[in-house]
Structure 1
Amino acid sequence: MSIDVDFSLALNDRTGKLFLGKDIISTLGARVTRVHYGRFHEFPHNDLMRRVVGRLTHKETMARVHRSRLVSLLPAIRDPRPTLHLDPLSVVRHRLEARDIVLCHDVGPITHPQYFAPGVEDLYLQAYEQIRRMKPHMVFVSKTSQREFHRLYGNDFASSNVIYIPTRLGVKEGEGCPLDGVSRRFLLTVGSIGDRKNQARCIEAFSASGLVEKGWQYVIVGGREPGADVAIELARQSPGVVMPGYTKDEELRWLYRNASGFVLMSLLEGFGMPVIEAIEHDLPCLVSRASILTEVGGDAMLCADPLSRESIAYGMHSLAEMSVDERVRRISEARAHLQVFAREPILASWRALVEKVG
Structure 2
Amino acid sequence: MSIDVDFSLALNDRTGKLFLGRDIISSLGHRIAKVRYGRFHGFPPNNFMRRVVGRLTHKETIARVYRPRLASFMPVIRTPRPTLHLDPLSVVRHRLEARDIVLCHDVGPITHPQYFAPGVNDLYSQAYEQIRRTRPHMVFVSKTSQREFHRLYGDDFASSNVIYIPTRLGVTEGEGRPVDGLQSPFILTVGSIGDRKNQARCIEAFAASGLAEKGWRYVIVGGREPGADNAIQLAKQTPGVVMPGYTTDEELRWLYRNASGFVLMSLLEGFGMPVVEATEHDLPCLVSSSSILTEIGGEAMLDADPLDPESIASGMRLLADMPDEERARRISQARSHLLNFAREPILASWRELIERVS
Residue aligned with 1:287, SS: strand
Write the distance in 1 (CA, Å) between the matches of 2:8 and 2:214.
48
Amino acid at match of 1:281: H
Q: Is the 8 A contact 1:11 1:50 kept in 2?
A: yes
Q: Offset at 1:111?
A: 0.3
Write the distance in 2 (CA, Å) between the matches of 1:177 and 1:52.
35
Q: Offset at 1:70?
A: 2.8
Write the distance in 1 (CA, Å) between the matches of 2:231 and 2:141.
29
1:100 aligns with 2:93: no
Q: Which residue of 2 aligns with 1:135?
A: 135
Write the distance in 1 (CA, Å) between the matches of 2:67 and 2:41.
25
RMSD value over aligned CA atoms?
0.7
Cα distance per residue 1:191-230 (max 9 Å; x no partner): 0000000000000000110000000000000000100000
Q: Which residue of 2 aligns with 1:22?
A: 22
| TM-score normalised to structure 2 length | 0.99
Q: Offset at 1:72?
A: 1.7
Amino acid at match of 1:116: F
Q: Which residue of 1 aligns with 2:218?
A: 218
Residue aligned with 1:4, SS: strand
Amino acid at match of 1:220: I
1:146 aligns with 2:138: no
Write the distance in 1 (CA, Å) between the matches of 2:314 and 2:16.
30
Write the distance in 1 (CA, Å) between the matches of 2:4 and 2:67.
26
Q: Which residue of 2 aligns with 1:312?
A: 312
Which range moves more in the overlay, 240-249 or 207-216? 240-249
Q: Which residue of 2 aligns with 1:296?
A: 296
Q: Is the 8 A contact 1:275 1:293 kept in 2?
A: yes
1:86 aligns with 2:83: no
Q: Which residue of 2 aligns with 1:74?
A: 74
Write the distance in 2 (CA, Å) between the matches of 1:181 and 1:308.
31
Write the distance in 1 (CA, Å) between the matches of 2:184 and 2:336.
30
Give the unaligned 5+ runs of structure 2: none
Q: Which residue of 2 aligns with 1:61?
A: 61
The residue correspondences of 1:107-256 to structure 2 (distance < 5 A) are 107-256=107-256
Amino acid at match of 2:120: V
Write the distance in 1 (CA, Å) between the matches of 2:181 and 2:143.
39
Cα distance per residue 1:219-252 (max 9 Å; x no partner): 0000001000000100111111111223110010
Write the distance in 1 (CA, Å) between the matches of 2:46 and 2:209.
47
Write the distance in 2 (CA, Å) between the matches of 1:267 and 1:246.
23
Amino acid at match of 1:209: S
Q: Offset at 1:68?
A: 4.1
Cα distance per residue 1:264-302 (max 9 Å; x no partner): 000000000000000000000000001000000000000
1:32 aligns with 2:32: yes
Which range moves more in the overlay, 153-162 or 42-51? 42-51
Write the distance in 1 (CA, Å) between the matches of 2:289 and 2:245.
26
Write the distance in 2 (CA, Å) between the matches of 1:334 and 1:176.
23
Q: Offset at 1:182?
A: 1.2
Q: Offset at 1:67?
A: 2.6
Q: Which residue of 2 aligns with 1:321?
A: 321
Residue aligned with 2:72, SS: helix
Identity over aligned residues, as a percent? 82
Detail structure 1 runs of 4+ shifted over 3 Å in the superposition: none
Give the unaligned 5+ runs of structure 1: none
Q: Which residue of 2 aligns with 1:341?
A: 341
Q: Offset at 1:19?
A: 0.3
Cα distance per residue 1:295-343 (max 9 Å; x no partner): 0000000000000000000000000110000000000000000001111
Write the distance in 1 (CA, Å) between the matches of 2:209 and 2:202.
10
Amino acid at match of 2:60: E
Write the distance in 1 (CA, Å) between the matches of 2:4 and 2:112.
31
Write the distance in 2 (CA, Å) between the matches of 1:338 and 1:184.
26
Cα distance per residue 1:100-157 (max 9 Å; x no partner): 0000000000000010010000000000000000000000000000000000000000
Q: Is the 8 A contact 1:181 1:242 kept in 2?
A: no
Q: Which residue of 2 aligns with 1:275?
A: 275
Write the distance in 2 (CA, Å) between the matches of 1:80 and 1:193.
43
Change (3 A) 1:178 1:229: same
